[in-house]
Chain A
Amino acid sequence: MAGVSSQPGFLMTTMEKGANWARTNSMWPASFGLACCAIEMMGTGAAHNDLARFGMEVFRASPRQADLMIVAGRVSQKMAPVLRQVYDQMAEPKWVLSMGACASSGGMFNNYALVQGVDEVVPVDMYVPGCPPGPQSLMHGILSLQEKIMDGEIRRSTGVL
């Protein structure tokens, strides 16, 4: 079902739309909560701001069963290979959402200890700014990512940066 065709036919586009719809509406996040953003991510999954209504309440511990990796928190030099390994263990199609300032760019910690943005390690599809981003910001990011997938803007990712 993947791949770009220059003259999409009616059947392929409809099936691709159907596949995209299925993927967005039950995207299972891999729990990769690292620091303060993880607390807000848990808060987004809790009852007050409910992620389950978007099909995402199941935070899979095993990356093999997950679609979306929400990198929530600061990625240190020691953690970067672990992050890459978990990303590579996820099956296609997969997306990465970089949550918070530290994951997107190193945040306020521009120093020796942190990777200045996880896009140095994994390809990122959506950046959510904030320190930490509140549940509403995170939900906006997730919904925007779902929109992008539905519209077909994000095709099959190859894992190459």
Chain B
Amino acid sequence: MTDTHDTEADVVLGEEDAPVADEVQGPEEERRQLHDVWVSGTEERFPFSKATDEGAQEFLPRDEDPALLIQEGIVVDDDYVEAPAVVEEERQIINMGPQHPSTHGVLRLQLELEGETIRRVKPIIGYLHTGMEKTAETLNYAQGSTNVTRMDYLAPFHNELAYSLAVEQLLGIDVPPRADAIRVLMTELNRVSSHLLWAATMGMDIGALSMMIYGWREREVCLDFFEKTTGLRMNHNYIRPGGVAADLPDGWEADIANLISLVNEGVDEYEELLNENPIFLDRTMGVGVILPEECKQYGVTGPIARASGLDWDLRKQTPYCGIDQYEFTVPTGLHGDVHDRYEVRIEEIRQSLGIVLQVVDSMPLGDYRTPDPKVTPPPRKRIDESMEALIHHFKLFTEGIMVPPGTAYQSVEGPRGEVGCYLVSKGGARPWRMHWRAPSFAAVQALPAMMTDSLVADVVAALASTDPVLGDVDR
């Protein structure tokens, strides 16, 4: 699949006389030699220099690139503006990433610039590919949460919830109302903490460096509550098929009340800092626009689609976990630019805190996981009293939860869009196939539509507003 870029040789000698690789050093070999790395302090070249070949994944010359249209961002909306009499040599290709302070993870963007204007964008991903979908086939259904929680590592509860709901769909069980309410509580708090981190990193990328500190300050309050409830600050493995792993700790209502007031005050501060700041407004208004039709074609959901005007939120359209009993509004924008995404997310933080307050007021009593013995291990003291309890405990911890054959897809509204789990089971304790519908995968694919014909500085703003999490993109 590699292309030989010996166009120079072609021009000089003609295609029939194109020399073989070891006679003339074509641009590709030259590029590889430049990338050879020297071991510090010696004359040795480290063997990693030719470790990977990304020939076909990188930019090809314009007249040879079959995917030119999608890189120019005009496949859906043909609004490409070509400057008259463009001179080919004036365009240069800049590589951004994978190690870069502003790419929100290991995303690599190849940009073709004409002066300061972007003409083509190609995102190259795969630098964080962890083989999680393959790992999922080796873990049983109780262990599956530990795997999926690390995909979108800023919204671990949503990943766990999508997985647990897909498994419960296959099992055909329902969880008790308290478990549903706890799930809503944790996922909405996770939405708040994820948006706070987004505000922090986006502020930093736009130039408001103090946003980084403020956003993290509020996020620490949320993480403290998560640690108290689940035991971990991140990657909790708390929402499992059948319910949740443990009940809420004592004094949680007071903790939540404190959290809500602190975060609300914090968000007030961010709005005071940013909303009328002329630099912020200049850098975000009219930048990184994506149209509703492009959102639908590329599969972009979540705050990006809502900022473009599409009123689509799975919590309202296909309510799950009893979230329809709480009152909340879903903010939408008009222009689809970075500023609208900022407004949508800030409003979503406030709405999520409103939901959390309602959950506190109406938390039902009862079990935090389903009493079905085929899914939930029995309480420890029952094992001494009952033979069935002992057998169930044994079966669950040696074999695992047995799930009947079938296919299921269930998705939840994560902070980045629709997070979905497509689960194929052929019976047994392990999934046959788990495919993850990652919202950031579609968002990264839509980056050319947002960035082409804008300036280099707008690339950073648009990327920050997309809020991609590369763990989700690459899995």
Contacts and interface: CB of A to CB of B under 8 A. Distances in A.
Quick check: do A and B touch in the complex, using CB within 8 A?
yes
Interface of A: 31-36, 38-40, 42-43, 46-48, 59, 61, 63, 73-74, 76-82, 84-86, 88, 92, 108-109, 111-114, 121, 131-132, 134, 157-160
Contacts of A121: 48
B80 interface: no
Given A35-B105, A39-B153, A39-B197, A84 B132 contact: no
Nearest to A38: B105
A145 B89 CA distance: 49
B126 A78 contact: yes
B132 A109 contact: yes
A76 B234 CA distance: 21
B235 A76 contact: no
30 contacts: A31-B101, A32-B99, A34-B106, A35-B128, A36-B153, A36-B234, A43-B233, A46-B213, A47-B213, A59-B101, A61-B100, A63-B99, A74-B128, A74-B130, A76-B474, A78-B52, A79-B98, A80-B48, A82-B98, A82-B127, A88-B37, A111-B135, A113-B130, A113-B134, A114-B131, A132-B233, A134-B233, A159-B39, A160-B41, A160-B42
A114 B474 CA distance: 12
A35 B470 CA distance: 8
A40 B49 contact: no
Interface string B122-166: 000011111110110000000000110010011000000000000
B154 A78 contact: no
In this complex, the member of B129, B134, B219 whose beta carbon has the largest number of chain A beta carbons within 10 angstroms is B129
A113 B41 CA distance: 31
B149 to A, nearest CB: 9
A35 to B, nearest CB: 5
A13 B410 CA distance: 65
B131 A112 contact: yes
A35 B150 CA distance: 9
A111 B131 contact: yes
B212 interface: yes
Given A36-B153, A112-B134, A81 B105 contact: no
B35 A85 contact: yes
B135 A48 contact: no
Contacts of B42: 158-160
Contact of A48 (B52, B217, B234, B471): B217
B46 interface: yes
B83 interface: no
Interface string B447-463: 00000000000000000
B386 interface: no
Interface of B: 35, 37-42, 46, 48-49, 51-52, 98-101, 105-106, 126-132, 134-135, 146-147, 150, 153-154, 197, 212-213, 216-217, 219-220, 223, 233-235, 470-471, 474
B471 A36 contact: yes
Given A35-B153, A48-B216, A160-B41, 14 more contacts: A35-B470, A36-B153, A38-B105, A39-B154, A47-B213, A78-B52, A80-B48, A81-B52, A85-B35, A88-B37, A111-B131, A158-B39, A159-B39, A159-B41
A38 B103 CA distance: 13
A86 B101 CA distance: 13
Contacts of B220: 43, 46, 48
A85 B256 CA distance: 46
A112 B217 CA distance: 38
Contacts of B213: 46-47
Shortest Cβ-Cβ A-B pairs, 3 listed: A113-B131, A46-B216, A159-B40
A158 B40 contact: yes
B40 A76 contact: no
A114 to B, nearest CB: 6
Given A48-B217, A84-B48, A112-B134, A78 B129 contact: yes
A52 B129 CA distance: 32
A123 B344 CA distance: 45
B234 A39 contact: yes
Contacts of B217: 46-48
A76 B129 contact: yes
Contacts of A34: 105-106, 127-128
A95 to B, nearest CB: 13
A49 to B, nearest CB: 8
A144 to B, nearest CB: 21
Contacts of B48: 80-81, 84-85, 121
Nearest to A160: B39
A40 B131 contact: no
A111 B133 CA distance: 11
Contacts of A76: 126-130, 474
A4 B134 CA distance: 49
Contacts of A61: 100-101
B41 A158 contact: yes
A108 B52 CA distance: 25
A130 to B, nearest CB: 10
A82 B366 CA distance: 52
Given A32-B99, A47-B217, A160-B39, A79 B127 contact: yes
Given A36-B153, A40-B234, A111 B134 contact: yes
